[in-house]
Every structure is written in C-alpha cells, then in structure tokens.
A and B are shown apart, each in its own frame.
Chain A
Amino acid sequence: MPIDVLMPALSPTMTEGKLARWLKAEGDPVAAGDLLAEIETDKATMEMEAVEEGTLGRILVPEGTEGVAVNTPIARLLAEGEDAAALDAEPAQAGPQPPPSPQAETPAAKDDAPKGASKAPRPAPGPATPPADRSRVFASPLARRLAARHGIDLAALSGRGPRGRILKADIEAAVEAGGTAPQPAAGKTQAEAPETPQADDPLLFGLPPHEAKPHSSMRRTIARRLTASARDVPHFSVAIDVDLDPLLRLRADLNGRIADKADRISVNDLIVKATGAALVAEPRCNVAFTEAAILHFSRVDIALAVALDDGLITPVIRDVPAKSLSTLHAEARRLAEKARAGKLTPEEYSGGTFTISNMGMFGVKSFTSILNPPQGGILSVGAGERRPVVRGDELAVGTVLSLNLAVDHRCIDGAVAAAFMARLKGLIEDPITLML
C-alpha cells in the first residue's frame, strides 16, 4: 500500500500553504529525513522532511500550487518492492494523520495572535479548509516599507484603513508618538494611545546626554510580553542546590568516548535531558493556564533562552524525553546558531511547554526568571561552583549548582513545584537514571 505524504502544518496557525518547490522528483528514492519539498506560508518558507522511506511514486500537488490545505495528500511514496501500479489505488482518506501539533492545543501562544486564536484551527483533511490565519497583518506596501525603516512593529499597530489595514498615516502617527510607542491593539483609537516618555518627561529630567535608540521589533515584543507576564501572572519561585559532581563525572565519561570536540555533551544538554525526564515524572509542571482550563501537555517541548546581541529568543526542542543526549546536543547547537543568525522559523521558536534559562556560562550563582506565557514554569540555571558542602557530618568541597524554578501559581502550586524540584535534583545527582 503506497503511503500518502500529507501537507504538514509548519506553524501553530497554519491551515494552508503553498507548495513552493519539490526537492525530489518522481522515481527518486527517499530516506526518512530527506528534504522532500519547500512549503511556503505567509511568514516563511520551510523545508519539509520525509518521515517515511521509499520511492517518490507520484507527485499529487504540483509545485507552485497555492492554498494547499494542511493534511491534503501531496504525494505518494512506494514502499520497497511495491509496484507502481499500486499508485492508482484509492487515496487513503483516513490515512496516517500527522501527530497533532502541540501548539494546536495551546492558547494564543504567539504574541501576535489575536485573542480568540486559542480556538486553534484544527487541521481538517481535504482542500476545503478556510484560510484562518488571523495573525496576518494587513498593511499597505508603503506602510510596510516605512515601518521597516522606522523599526516599528506592524503587529503592535492598529490600522485606520478598511478592516484595520495599516496605512502610511498610522506609521506616521506612530513615529510622531515617539517612533517607539506600540500603538494600542485593534479596538482602540489613536487618541487613546499611551503617552510615550518624551524629552520633556520629568522622569528623564537631569539625565546626562544620551542617544535614544529606537526599539527593534524584538525589543518591543520582549517589553510587551514580559510586562504582561510580570504584571498579570501570580508567580513565585522555588530554589534548590544540587550536587553536580555525579553529573560532571558522567559527562566526562561520555565525552571520553566522543572524538569530535564539537559533539561533546555539555552540562546544559544533561540538564535539558534531566528537566525533560522530571517533567515526564511530574507532568503537573508541564502545563499552561488559560481562562477556561489548565492545559496539560501530552508532550514535553522545552524552550531554551538564547541571548542575542540585541535581545533574546527561545527556540524549542520538541519531545525532549524521546531524544538521545547526542540528538539534544546537536539540536540545541543548531537552534542556537540559527537564533544568532536570525534564521529561526516561526515553527522553531513558537510553542514550547516549559523554558530553561541558563546563565551558568556567565558565572551567575543564582537567579530567577520571568515566566514565558502561557507556559506554567521556567527553570533558571546558575553556574556549577566549587563550594563547601556537608557530606554526612563532614565538611567537604563539591561542585554545587543552584536552580530556581519560577511558576504560575494559577496552575502550579507550591507542593507541586517542590515535588518537581526534588525529582530534578534526584535525576541530576544520580544521572545514570537518565539512561533508564
């Protein structure tokens, strides 16, 4: 039976896309992981990997086709030894569905998604899926160009044009308002825009000469999301110290067997692995709060905070517990490199069920983080330090790591947070159990 290859959902809000280019031709052998095609959404072009192996028997959707609904069969793969005649069999309508993307169940995870997008568009089979990407920003070409020039985030503006279309005048008003003020979201008028601190703001009086650098789009997003998080989420944090020496020994042992220095496992890789395992063991911390319900995620997708020259971004490693240390290492490195190069796709930085922020490499002993909504928890990792420790009744010297877990109290209570931290401590201090 030939395998139908389905149009993938490459971002949480994607319901359809353009099949931009086939990277394999009919008759080509296909191995799992091979790049099959380029799929274009309104936000980005992404490559689609083959999940199954076989021979590309037939291309059902020619390249250049727009508006291909998610889950539409786009090609048929022949399994090894299968005859080409099998291609003419009825398409398997109830064929293999891709696993539902985890974001489909999260609330408006992306900051630019309007409220109400939490009713995530369920990818429906068949071509009749209505276009429903409500995160698309409508702006005139001139407005787009001017916004780019002034570093204004279009998503933060409300347009005065038909159906909220952003026009030149909206950009000019935003520039007028200080060039930096995010205008209120749809529904408010320009007149209600919050005042931006101006040069004559008394708060700024008496400051030494300074250069005002207009906000980048990323800075604006950081400001908006973290302000909302710190203001709206009742949060607390739980701190523990863990004995890092067993994990360091395991790491040394593992890396002794890895020839290429670049492939060697880092402390962070092991902490990611341990956190994933701890979340599996304590799933009450792998949650998000929404007004209507607490979302319990069936998969652990961990976002890693990556510092950039002018901000930070949190690319996501999917299904951490299912991945080997070497895979986690490779993926973390690849995502960090793409993040620093500014080449992450929306798929790569959206979603995530839990975040880890590691400042150990900066020598920070201990810190707490602001929650990354709508995720329920964020783990802050300090530096492993040689500190005096008490072993039995003896004072000794050991490598100690301070961990802080900040949680959203609306969905994670203190005892649950403590249980998670105990579990994490247990895994780090007895890391061989990670191999189980």
Chain B
Amino acid sequence: MAEQRKAEPAFQVAVVGSGPGGYVAAIRAAQLGLRTAIVEAAELGGICLNWGCIPTKALLRSADIYRTLKQADSFGLKTGEVGADLKAIVARSRQVAGQLSGGVGHLLKKNGVTVIRGRAQLDGPGRLAVRGEKGTESLAAEHIILATGARARTFPGLEADGEHIWTYRHALKAETLPKSLLVVGSGAIGIEFASFFHTLGSQTTVVEVLDRILPQEDAEISALMAKSLKRDGMTLHTGTTVEKLEVRDGGVVATLARDGKQHQVTAERVLLAVGISPNSANLGLEGSKVKLDRGHVVTGPFGVTGEPGVYAIGDLTAPPWLAHKASHEGVLAAEHIAGVKGLEPLDPLRIPGCTYAHPQVASVGLSEDKAKAQGHAVKVGRFPFIGNGKAVALGEAEGLIKTIFDADTGELLGAHMIGAEVTELIQGYAIAMGLETTEAELIHTVFPHPTLSEMMHESVLDAEGRALHF
C-alpha cells in the first residue's frame, strides 16, 4: 500500500482564486455539503476586496465627505479650514480592505472550506498542481471552479511603471497627491479614480477612445456625466487615442491624437484604466478542452467549460466583468455541481452596473439605443432630481432617472440613473425586471415619501406621460 502513503485529501470541489466569485462559490459549495477547498496565491477576497471595489469605495467616501465639508457653509455649518491628507485617506482604505479580507477568511473557516495557499493549475482530469511555498503538491478534486479573475490591461507603449504611470493598484497606494493626473480610459474604474483625485485637488484629464465617457452606459447618462465633470473643472478628451507616453522631468508627456491631429498633454501622473486582461495563462488550460476567446474562458450555462468537471466564473469568463456577476456565477456553478434542480442561467441583461463617482451612475438592462436597435418600440420615462423633495433637501438636486419600457408589452427593458445614491436605488428596478413586472405594477407600488426612490416611481409615471412632480 505504498501508493497511499502520499494520499492527498480528495475534495468534491476545488476553487481556484478567492475573489468575490471564488470565495462565494466555495461557501455555497460547502453549504451544499460538498467537501470544498479554495486555492489562493495572494490575499483572500481577491481584487475586489483588496484592490478594487472596496478600497476605492473607501477612498471615494473620503472624497465625498471632503466635498461636503467644503460646502458646509451652504448647510449653515462652520468648519474652519478643510484639508485632505492623502496618506491618511489611503491608510483608511487599506484598513477597510484588510478588515474585510480577514472577514472572508473567517467565513471560509466557518463553512469548513479548506484554504490552500499557492498557485494552482490543471494537472489532468480531476487534478490540480498547486505551487506553494513548500513546493508543488497535487490536489484531487472531482470538480474544479476556475475563478482567477483578471488584471489591468496594458498595451505596448502604454505600460505602467508604478512610479509615474499607474494602474489602479498603484493609484490605491498613492503617497502624494499629484498636481495633475491623466486618466486613460473612461469606464467605471477610470471615472471613479478621476473623480477621487479631482475632488482632492488633482487637475484631472480623462482620455477616451470612444466618442463618449462611460461608453457602456446610456448615451444620455454619459452626456450628463460629462457635463457634470466638466463643470467641476475636469478636462475630457473623447474620440481620442494615446499615441505615446514619455516620462520626462518628473512627469509624463502624453501624445494624444484626435481625428489625425496630435497634441501633447503633460501630467504629473498617468493612470491606465483601459480595461482588463483575464488571468488565463499558467492555468494549465493548454492540454485541456477548455476553450478561450481572446484570453477569456468560453463557458456554457452555470459556468461549464469544454473540459468535463471544470467550471469557470467571473472576470476570467465573458463580460460584464463585475464582482456581483462573479459571485452569482459562483453560486450557480456550485449549485450545478451539487445537482440543485431548477437552476436558471444568469441573464446578463439583469446584472446592474454601478459607477461610484460624483455623481454616481447606475443602470440595468438595455440602453435606449440598444433597445431601439433590437427593434423595440420604446416608451421612455425621465425624472430629474430637481423635482424630488428629498434630493433638494440633501443638496443633491442634480441627476436623472430614466426608464425604458417596451411600448407594446409594457416590459421594463432598462433603467439608467445618475445622481446621489443611485447605486443603492438600482436594485429596485433589478427586482422589477427579475419578476417581469410591467409599468402597471410599478405604478401601483407605493414609494415612501420623502425619498430619492420616489423618482423611480415618477420616472415610470413619466413613461406613461403622467409624472406628478415635474
């Protein structure tokens, strides 16, 4: 029985990566009674908790308070001189991330998930090779969930040096506030950092290759965001490419091109936020039947891949690349493995997206343009924050809630919001879409007064031409 000497624990599920997809998948698998392991090479909680969603929210909270303090007069408050200490702000952000990462470890332990430190790769059917500090060990698992996420995307010539040219990782640990910042890319990450640094006092410029910022959002929302940022003094270059970045005299000279015409912009720091690259290399996929599309793992319903027993979830797979999408996919994959009946695949159109800048942006479903492109005759409702009592009382009278219905069936196709706290409001519409409500049920729903949520009601009313307060 010499073979059994090296017998390793056989797991029913092994999850590779402990981000919001992986750790949630592991907890769900354990809840379903499956012997579960999770392999992590860095901090528990992945990018989201440590280098993404959470620490940026901590930073933006500081920025929001700073902005509010500067307006204290308008609320009848006296504050004396207000200042921002970037080091302390960053320290708080790191503390928040650390606290939550510890929380993930606790949750995994509580659910009986075995945490294995190291880098895993597929090593034949039902087997992972895990490279850890003490060398490589083999891990047997009936099912493997790949949840290795993604990292910042870079292009040749547009590479971060960590000093003058940053990715989000560097920006999250910034030690001094740059006098000027050039943000390349205007997706959620780019706009959130632009908003943070600009609020704290960096003269900020955003470059976007497409014709509008937040290009994944409804065009009307993008336009309102652009208007708001410009009014706050931010410079936006849309339809513009970055040809060259040169570090010179302690700053960066960026060569930008628009319509074939070049011009140069100098900034103390540059932040690259041009998308993500999936972490699909060095996973041992080459010898497997797992298929890739531009680096992302191709999956079927519930995260199944071409390789039997191997699942993939989150940023490693198809868009949208959002933490809550990864978590939901993790749950579905675990339940599929456990044979839970009646599972429904995730509908990407029902995944809300949020940008936590000032103002906030949140949306779910189809934009107006996409709805029309898909052949829907639409009814569009709009309600501005200026018409809402709570918004005016909060001193947040800027923003819009836009709803899009199929004119024929009354189906809620999409909702798009910009303004204070809209990221907390969007789930109301997500529930409505999930339950397939029509305008009628939303109209008959009572919204509490005075709340920002009343605007959600009014927007639906407006789609029917019967808004009450505007």
Taking Cβ atoms with an 8 Å cutoff, the residues of A that contact B are 140-143, 145-146, 149, 160-162, 167-168
Contacts and interface: CB of A to CB of B under 8 A. Distances in A.
Nearest to B434: A140
A142 B411 contact: yes
B437 A145 contact: no
A145 B409 contact: yes
A146 B409 contact: yes
A376 B414 CA distance: 55
A141 B437 CA distance: 5
Contacts of A146: 409
Contacts of B342: 162
B210 interface: no
Nearest to B437: A141
21 contacts: A140-B436, A141-B435, A141-B437, A141-B438, A141-B440, A142-B409, A142-B410, A142-B436, A142-B437, A142-B438, A143-B436, A145-B409, A145-B410, A145-B438, A146-B409, A149-B409, A160-B344, A162-B342, A167-B436, A168-B411, A168-B436
A170 to B, nearest CB: 10
B441 interface: yes
A139 to B, nearest CB: 9
Count class of interface residues, chain B: 10 to 19
A19 to B, nearest CB: 21
B409 A140 contact: no
Contacts of A168: 411, 436
Interface in B215-257: none
Interface in B409-440: 409-411, 435-438, 440
A141 B344 contact: no
Interface string B431-455: 0000111101100000000000000
Residue among A140, A162, A168 facing the most chain B CB atoms (10 A cut-off): A140
A399 B410 CA distance: 61
A74 B437 CA distance: 35
A146 B437 CA distance: 12
Interface in B369-388: none
A357 B191 CA distance: 75
A162 B436 CA distance: 13
A140 to B, nearest CB: 3
A140 B435 contact: yes
B405 to A, nearest CB: 11
A35 B295 CA distance: 73
A146 B438 CA distance: 11
B200 to A, nearest CB: 46
A305 B436 CA distance: 39
Contacts of B435: 140-141
A149 B410 CA distance: 12
Report, nearest first, the 9 A-B pairs whose CB atoms are least far apart: A140-B436, A142-B436, A141-B438, A141-B441, A141-B437, A142-B411, A142-B438, A168-B436, A145-B438
B374 to A, nearest CB: 14
Contacts of B437: 140-142
A424 B41 CA distance: 90
Contacts of A142: 409-411, 436-438
Chain A contact surface mostly:
helix
B375 to A, nearest CB: 14
A388 B466 CA distance: 74
A253 to B, nearest CB: 58
A316 B397 CA distance: 63
A169 to B, nearest CB: 9
A140 B410 CA distance: 12
Nearest to A164: B342
Contacts of A140: 435-437
A149 B344 CA distance: 26
Contacts of B409: 142, 145-146, 149
Contacts of A167: 436
Residue among A140, A142, A167 facing the most chain B CB atoms (10 A cut-off): A142
Nearest to A142: B436
A109 B468 CA distance: 48
B399 to A, nearest CB: 28
A381 B436 CA distance: 49
Nearest to B410: A145
B407 to A, nearest CB: 13
Contacts of B410: 142, 145
A179 to B, nearest CB: 15
Interface string B391-415: 0000000000000000001110000
Nearest to B342: A162
Nearest to A146: B409
B125 to A, nearest CB: 30
A37 to B, nearest CB: 25
A407 B436 CA distance: 47
Given A142-B410, A145-B410, 4 more contacts: A140-B437, A141-B435, A167-B436, A168-B436
A143 B435 CA distance: 10
A149 B406 CA distance: 14
A151 to B, nearest CB: 15
Contacts of A145: 409-410, 438
A140 B438 CA distance: 9
A149 B436 CA distance: 16
A143 to B, nearest CB: 6
Nearest to A167: B436
A161 to B, nearest CB: 8
B44 to A, nearest CB: 32
A145 B407 CA distance: 13
Contacts of B441: 141
A145 B344 CA distance: 22
A160 B435 CA distance: 13
Interface in B316-361: 342, 344
Contacts of A143: 436
A149 B441 CA distance: 18
A176 to B, nearest CB: 16
Contacts of A149: 409
A160 B410 CA distance: 21
Nearest to A149: B409
A146 B435 CA distance: 14
A3 to B, nearest CB: 39
Interface in B57-71: none
Residue among A141, A143, A161, A167 facing the most chain B CB atoms (10 A cut-off): A141
Contacts of B344: 160-161
A161 B438 CA distance: 17
Nearest to A143: B436
Nearest to B432: A141
Nearest to B344: A160
B376 to A, nearest CB: 13
A162 B344 CA distance: 9
A146 B408 CA distance: 10
A173 B416 CA distance: 29
Nearest to A139: B436
A243 to B, nearest CB: 61
Nearest to B411: A142
A162 B342 CA distance: 7
A162 B340 CA distance: 13
A143 B411 CA distance: 10
A13 B436 CA distance: 28
A162 B411 CA distance: 20
A167 B409 CA distance: 13
